[in-house]
Amino acid sequence: MEKSDDLIEKMMHEYELSLTYKKSWILWILASNKSIWENLAFYTNLVLNVVIAISYYEHYDEKEAEQMGEEELEQEIDFNRKYEPRLLGNENIDFTPRLLLILGIINFLFSGLVVLFFFIRKARFLVKNLWINWYES
């Protein structure tokens, strides 16, 4: 009997959400395409990680390296790896950090949509269950 009450409550919540979504076509589009946002978040995360993996490598100027000592060269390589990522050896130092920032923001937005609509659908019941369990103990 208790499970049927929970099921009825969940169905009523879903119905109320569908009425809210019908009032705004933007909300309806965002909420009804959950799997698209999940896939886009996954693929932007994948691209972001690949860009990071191929941007941080040991790069240095060979002509300058001949004039440096071994310790100085190691410091130069270490500095370049940490602070000057270069996508596939791109000479423009600003390109890769900007690309990483843009991909990170896009990934944050897609992941945020996934989390937001998860909480819109589930938070009410999760909080209710936590509250009941805390109150009973």
Domain ranges of the chain: 1-32, 34-136
Look over the chain and give the mean of its residue pLDDT values, rounded to a whole number: 79
pLDDT category at 108 given cuts 50, 70, 90 is very high
d(CA 58, CA 51) in angstroms, rounded, equals 15
Whether 76 shows a pLDDT value over 80: the answer reads no
Half-sphere CA count of 48, side-chain side, radius 13 A: 17
What is the pLDDT averaged over residues 56-81? Answer: 69
Tokens of 114: 């996934």
- pLDDT tens digits along 3-55: 777 777 778 877 887 777 778 778 778 777 889 999 999 999 999 999 888 88
pTM over 0.75: no
